[in-house]
Chains A and B, each alone.
Chain A
Amino acid sequence: MCVLCGQMFSEIHWSERLLDPEAVTQGAGETTRRQNRHARTRLIGKVLAHYGLDVSDDWSATNYVVGNRKGAQQVVASLAELWPAASRMAGRPLDPLDPALLDRLRRPNAETET
């Protein structure tokens, strides 16, 4: 547990590990993490929009908050938990090979279309 923010960290997802040890020693680790995190959440938002869902980071950018249009929300700690939770909320599997999803992602306003 982080004593400053009270967050429990049980597992760091493989995609969220900092890859460059040099960056960490130079104190740039947190900036890199935040940048990667922002990019990741933005892309997940575009994907989930196709299923009528949205996603945001919690205040500390360590958890994801997945929501639907009825106002239901679920907080998940990592990408490993996000996809099953989103699939349950959407009521169907989320498949990155789905041609309809890929069509939507190719459009410029994928995130905001309804």
Chain B
Amino acid sequence: MTLDGRRAVTVLSGFLGSGKTTLLRRYLSAQGGAGIAVIINEFGAVGVDHHLIRMVEERSVLLQGGCVCCSRREDLVQTLRELLDLEQSGALPPLRQVVIETSGIADPVPVLFTLATDPVLKHHFAPASVVVTLDALNAATQIERQPEVRKQIIAADRLVVTKTDLAPREAVSRSRMRVRQLNPTARITVSCLGDGFDVLEPAIGIDRAEAIGQAGALQPDADAASLHKDVQATALGFSAPLDWPAFGVWLGMLLQARGPDVLRIKGLLDIGDAGPVVMNVAQHVVHPPEHLPGWPADAHRSYLVFITRGIDPARISESLETFQRAGGRPDLSVTRLS
């Protein structure tokens, strides 16, 4: 158990043939599989003698009045509850992590929604990160033609560029650039034959800050808007600690009004306490904010990255600043970092 006494859940996603299974196999071999359960949707491929592998057939239930991200993965609810029962009855050793490998065309957000909203699971499992694999050989075409791939990249906390032994160096750097354009906060690992598999290891404590993003990614990128005109990524910085109640009012209202066009929000917020608050929103799904005990040594910087569709970033910045000033931070200024 790693996160508030709950079992860490790592979601491993990526398009068909992008190297998810290779990465998972290397990770399980290195870990010896102790305390790790794996949920996959295709049997046979993992090839590791691992008694905690469960196969599921992805089964989503769209909630009435909900958008696409608000669908419940019934298959996962059932499987995770079974694992919990087995562990609690002593039939399984204590679990510390569950890796959920999604199908190639799955959207990872319903998995997060399911973990956040199921009345039993939310007390026992905590989303640790979304890891997405991207095949460097086919990245350009897939990003262009497959909306599923774009969704996966936007949902990613860690992105692993794979097949780099087969792809020319330019293709690898182009893949990195395209990921940056869609999701500047994803931490990118370039992997060859499944190395870099430790991205699947859940981060704890202050390392969570590193795991959710990197301040280095917030550099202005002149080409950022050129390929995906409908998707904008912008980073906001703050001149003073934020007022937390006012932030909650603002973000709740924004997601209610503009939810389908707010694809991702990530960042570290200074709200005047010793450590930052980790914010992580994937579409409508707001991860419970985490309060870290302190700031990472190399990143004492309060920021929020917004990935939106068709919303002028200047309006987000202006709106957040106005709500903060109306809510008790009259001197706070919000600036665009990128």
A residues neighboring B (CB under 8 Å):
13-17, 19-21, 36-37, 39-40, 42-44, 46-47, 79-80, 82-84, 87, 93-97, 102, 105-106, 110
Among A16, A40, A42, A94, residue most surrounded by chain B Cβ atoms (within 10 Å): A40
**A94 touching B253 by the CB < 8 A rule?**
yes
Q: Is A97 a contact partner of B311 (Cβ separation < 8 A)?
A: yes
Interface residues on B, range: 20 to 34
List the B side residues contacting A40 at CB < 8 Å: 245-246, 248-249
21 contacts between A and B (CB under 8 A): A13-B248, A14-B289, A15-B247, A15-B252, A17-B289, A19-B273, A40-B249, A42-B327, A43-B245, A43-B323, A43-B327, A93-B257, A94-B253, A96-B319, A97-B315, A97-B316, A97-B319, A102-B318, A105-B325, A105-B326, A106-B325
Main secondary structure of the interface of B (DSSP, over half): helix
Instruction: Tell me how far the C-beta of A28 lies from the nearest C-beta in chain B, rounded to whole angstroms.
Output: 13
| Cβ B257 vs Cβ A94 within 8 A | yes
Nearest-CB distance from A105 to chain B (Å)? 4
Q: Shortest CB–CB separation between residue A92 and chain B, in angstroms?
A: 11
> Complex formed: what's the CA distance from A17 to B244 in Å?
11
Within 8 A of A (CB), among B70-103: none
Please tell me if the beta carbons of B249 and A44 are within 8 angstroms of each other in the complex. Answer: yes
A84 contacts B256, C-beta separation under 8 Å:
yes
Interface residues of B in 313-333 (CB under 8 A from A): 315-316, 318-319, 322-323, 325-328
A83, B327: Cβ atoms under 8 Å?
no
Asked, given contacts A79-B252, A97-B257, whether A19 binds B323 with beta carbons under 8 Å apart, the answer is: no
Q: Interface residues, chain B, CB within 8 Å of chain A? A: 243-254, 256-258, 271, 273, 277, 286-289, 291, 311, 315-316, 318-319, 322-323, 325-328
A102 engages B322 (CB within 8 Å) = yes
User: Which residue of B245, B253, B258 contacts A47 across the interface (Cβ within 8 Å)?
Assistant: B253
Closest chain-B Cβ to A68's Cβ sits at a distance in Å of 18
Q: Closest CB of chain A to B331's CB: distance in Å?
A: 14
Nearest Cβ on chain B to A45's Cβ, whole angstroms: 10
Q: Which of A80, A82, A96, A110 has the most CB of B within 10 A?
A: A96
Q: Which of A19, A84, A102 is close to B277, meaning CB atoms less than 8 Å apart?
A: A19
Contact of A20 among B251, B273, B319 (CB under 8 A): B273
A93 to B257, CA, bound (A): 7
For B244, B319, B325, the residue with the greatest tally of chain A CB atoms inside 10 Å of its CB is: B319
The 3 closest A-B pairs by CB, nearest first: A15-B248, A83-B256, A40-B245
Contact B326 A19 (CB under 8 A): no
In the complex the two chains form, is A15's CB within 8 Å of B253's CB?
Answer: no
A84 cross-chain contacts in B, Cβ below 8 A: 256
